[in-house]
Structure 1
Amino acid sequence: MAEHWYRSTLTELSTTIAWLPPSVASTIILIVVAFIALVSGGAITGILPLLPGLRRIPLIRDVAFSLKNHVRVLMMLLALIAALPVMQGYSDATLYTLSRSFACLFILTLGFGLIRAFRLGVNKYRDRITRLKGTEDISARSHQTQIRVLHRLGEFTFGVIVVATALMMFPAVRQYGVSLFASAGAASLVIGLSARTVFSNLIAGIQIAFTQPIRIEDMLILNGDWAWVEEINATYVVLRTWDRRRYIVPISWFLENPFQNWTHSAPSLVGTVMLALDYHADISAVRRIFDEEIEKCPGWDGDRGNTACQVTDINTHSINIRMIAATVNAGMMWNMCCALRERMLTRLRAEMPECLPRGRTALVSAEPGEAPWPDRLISPPVNRPETGPWTGPDITRKSA
C-alpha cells in the first residue's frame, strides 16, 4: 500500500513537470527524493533517543548518534531504488546500471553500519568489564584479549563478505569471482602464496585469543625494552614502551619466537636493588633500615614473604647486598626500586657512613717486623655523628 502511494506520488510529480525533457525531469525527481530521504533519516535518528522510555537508555542514544549517517544514506538509497521503476527518459542500460549501483551502495552501507554497531556494543561490554574487575585482574585482561582479537577477526571476515557481496551485483565482477574461485591454475597458486602471510597472521590471531601467551597490558621484554601490550589486532600487535615508542609486531611472531612475559600469571613482580657496601657494615643494622624504608616506598604490596635483604657476594673491596621486594604491578616496579635505592643511600650516609665502600692502601716496608707506613692508610678514619639511632659498636678509630 505504501509502495503504491509512493509511486503514485512520483508519477503525479512527473506529470507536473512534464514540460521538461523526460531525462531531466527524472533526474530532478531523484534529487528531490534523495534530499527528502536524507532529511527524514536525520529527523528519525534525532527524535528516537528523545522518546519516552528510551531517554534513560544510554546505549540507544549512542547507537543513534553513531549510526545517524548510515541511517540517512540507507533511507536515501531505499527511496531511490523504489523510485527508479517510474522514472522515464532513461535507457534500459542506464536504469540497469543505476539500480545495480544503488543496490551495491545499499549493501555496503548496511554491512558497515552493522560492523559499526557491533563495534559499539563490544566497546560498551569491554568498558563494563573494566569497571567491574579493574585493569589488573588477570581474568578481566584474558577476557578482554579474547573479545578484542575475535572482534577484529569477525570485523575483517564480515567486511570481506560485505564487499564481495556488493561487488557481485555486477555481472562482470561475478563472473570474474566465480572463475577465480573455480580456477586451479597458476593464478590461484600465485594468489594463495601472496596471501600466505595474511592467513598465517589470521590463524595466529585465533591461537592468541584462545591460548593467550600475551594479553592486553601484559609487560613484555622485546629487544631489551620493557613494553606493554597496547593493542592486539587481527594481524599485528602494538607494544608501548616506557618512553612512549610503539613496536608494531606481526601477531605470528609471538608464536614463532621466544619472548619474556613478566605478567603472564600475575600482575605482581619482584624488584631487585643491589648495594655495594664496606666490610665494616653492620648487616643487621642495614637490614633494620631496609625493613623501615621499604614500607615507605610507593608500589610495595606489603608481602613480607617476598621481601628480603641478603649478602649475595663479596670481593676484595666490598660486599654486595641484594634487596628484593614485590610490587603491586609491573608499572610500579621501577619506581619502587628507585625510591628504595635513594632512601637506603640517604639513611646509610647519615647514620652509618662507615658502610660506604672505600679503597684501602698500605705501604709495607721491606724490613721484616716493621709496621706498614703510614698507619692511617690501613683504615681511613670515619667521623661518625655524635648522636643517631644506630647503637652498634664503634668499629672505627678516632683520628689523631
Structure 2
Amino acid sequence: MSWNVIGQLIALALTIGLTLLIGWLVDKALQRVAARHPETTVWPMLRRCRIPLQFVVCLALLLANAPLAQLFDRHAGDVRHGLLLALIASVGWLAERVVAAVLTAFFSRYQEVADDPSRVQRVRTQISLLRRTASALVILVTVGAMLLTFSEMRAVGASLLASAGLIGIVAGIAAQSTLGNFFSGLVIAFGDLVRIGDIVVVEQQQGTVEEITLSYLVVRLWDQRRLVVPVSYFVSRPFENWTRADPHTTGWILLHLDHTTPVPELREQFHRLLLDSKEWDGRDWGLVVFDTTPSAIVIRATMTTRNPDDAFILKCATREHLLAWLRDHHPEALPRVRTAG
C-alpha cells in the first residue's frame, strides 16, 4: 500500500473523528442551554437532529478534502457526485428534523398554557398539517436539487418548472379569494392591525376578537354569538378598533328634555353620580346643551372610562339615574307632546 493511500485513509479517519467531535460539542451545548432554560422545550427537541447534522458535516468535509474520491482514480467523479447527492439528502433530512422539532416544541408549550381542550385539539390538527406540508415541501426541494445535479435532467427540470409556473398561474386565478385571505392574514399578523382581545366594531356590531387565523377572524359579540369574518375584510374596509393603542374610552349619552330643564342642577347631579361610580376613571367629564329644537333641548353627557365595557355600563347607569332624578324632582323637565287647545 502506497504512502499516498495511507495518507488518504488517515485523512478519512480524521474527518470521521472531527465529525463525531462536532456532533458531541453541539449536543453538549444544547444540553447546557436546555438546563438554563427548562421552560423551553425546543432545545431538547433539537438534540434529535444530531445524527443528520453529523452526516451533513461528514459529507461536507469529504467533498471539501476528497480523501475518499482519490482512492478511486477511475471513478473519482462518480464518487464525488454520489457524495454530493448524499449531502443534499442529508441537508433535507436535517431541515425536516429541525422543522419537526420546532413545531413539536411549540405545541408542547401551547399545551401547557392552554386550558381549553377544544383549542388544544384544533392547534394539534393545525400543527400536524403544517408539519406534513413542510415535510412534503422539503422532500420536493431536496429531490429537485438532486435531480438538477444530473446534466441530463436540467432540461427536464426547466420544463417541469415552466409547467409548474403555468399551473400555478391557473390555480392562483381559480383560488384568488383564498390567496387574498391568506396574504391579508399575513398583513394582519405582522402589521398589528388587530390582536386577540381587541374590541372592534364590524358591520355595526361590537365584539371582542377571540381568534385570528390566516383566513378568517372570529369576533365574540356581547350576547355570546360568534361573528366569523374573512381577514380580507380588515384590509379592504374601514373598521373601528377601540383598544388598539389605548383602551381608555370616552362615552356619551344624549337626553331629549324640555326647555325648562334646570341644566346646572342636572350637571351637578351627574357629577355626583360619577364620583360614586367605580367605572369612571376620573380623567374628564362634561354635561352641556348639545342642540335645541322648537320642542326640546338635547343634553349631552360625556364621561371617560378605562375600557369600552366600563363605558357601556356607565352610560346605562347615567341614563337611568338622571331620568329617575328628573322624574322625582323636576317632572316638568321631561319631554312632553304639546297639542293645540
Cα distance in 1 for partners of 2:217, 2:317 equals 33
Counterpart for residue 292 of structure 2: 314
Cα distance in 1 for partners of 2:171, 2:226 equals 31
What is the Cα deviation at residue 210 of structure 1? 3.4
Paired AA for residue 115 in structure 1: L
Counterpart for residue 118 of structure 1: 106
What is the Cα deviation at residue 162 of structure 1? 1.6
Matched residue SS, 2:39? helix
CA contact (8 A) 1:228 1:241 kept: yes
Identify which of 251, 263, 266 aligns with 2:243. 263
- 1:160 maps to 2:133: yes
What is the Cα deviation at residue 206 of structure 1? 2.8
Counterpart for residue 307 of structure 2: 329
Cα distance in 2 for partners of 1:226, 1:359 equals 34
Counterpart for residue 7 of structure 2: none
CA contact (8 A) 2:249 2:306 kept: yes
CA contact (8 A) 2:172 2:179 kept: no
Structure 1 residues 156, 204: CA separation in 2 closer, same or farther (over 3 Å shift)? farther
- Using the size of structure 2 for normalisation, the TM-score is 0.57
Paired AA for residue 222 in structure 2: W
Identify which of 174, 177, 193 aligns with 1:213. 193
- 1:239 maps to 2:219: yes
Structure 1 residues 123, 283: CA separation in 2 closer, same or farther (over 3 Å shift)? farther
Matched residue SS, 1:183? helix
Paired AA for residue 325 in structure 1: M
Identify which of 283, 290, 295 aligns with 2:275. 295
CA contact (8 A) 1:201 1:235 kept: yes
Higher percent of residues as helix: 2
Paired AA for residue 136 in structure 2: V
Structure 1 residues 58, 302: CA separation in 2 closer, same or farther (over 3 Å shift)? farther
CA displacement 1:222-262 (0-9 Å, x = unmatched): 11111222222122222211112222222222111122222
Q: Quick check: 185-194 or 265-274, which moved more? A: 185-194
Cα distance in 1 for partners of 2:141, 2:276 equals 68
What is the aligned-residue identity percentage? 32
Structure ID, larger Rg: 1
Cα distance in 2 for partners of 1:185, 1:196 equals 16
Counterpart for residue 173 of structure 2: 193
Q: Quick check: 352-361 or 272-281, which moved more? A: 352-361
What is the Cα deviation at residue 166 of structure 1? 5.8
CA displacement 1:301-321 (0-9 Å, x = unmatched): 1112xx110111222322111
CA contact (8 A) 1:298 1:339 kept: no
- 1:183 maps to 2:163: yes
- 1:340 maps to 2:318: yes
Paired AA for residue 252 in structure 2: T
CA contact (8 A) 1:180 1:188 kept: no
Paired AA for residue 253 in structure 1: Y
Cα distance in 1 for partners of 2:97, 2:196 equals 31
Cα distance in 2 for partners of 1:112, 1:177 equals 28
Matches within 5 A, 1:278-293: 278-293=258-273
Structure 1 residues 345, 193: CA separation in 2 closer, same or farther (over 3 Å shift)? same
Structure 1 residues 255, 159: CA separation in 2 closer, same or farther (over 3 Å shift)? farther
Query: Unaligned regions of 5+ residues in structure 1, if any?
Result: 1-52, 72-106, 128-152, 364-400
Query: Unaligned regions of 5+ residues in structure 2, if any?
Result: 1-33, 49-94, 115-125, 148-152
How many residues are treated as equivalent by the alignment? 242
Paired AA for residue 161 in structure 1: A
Matched residue SS, 1:193? helix
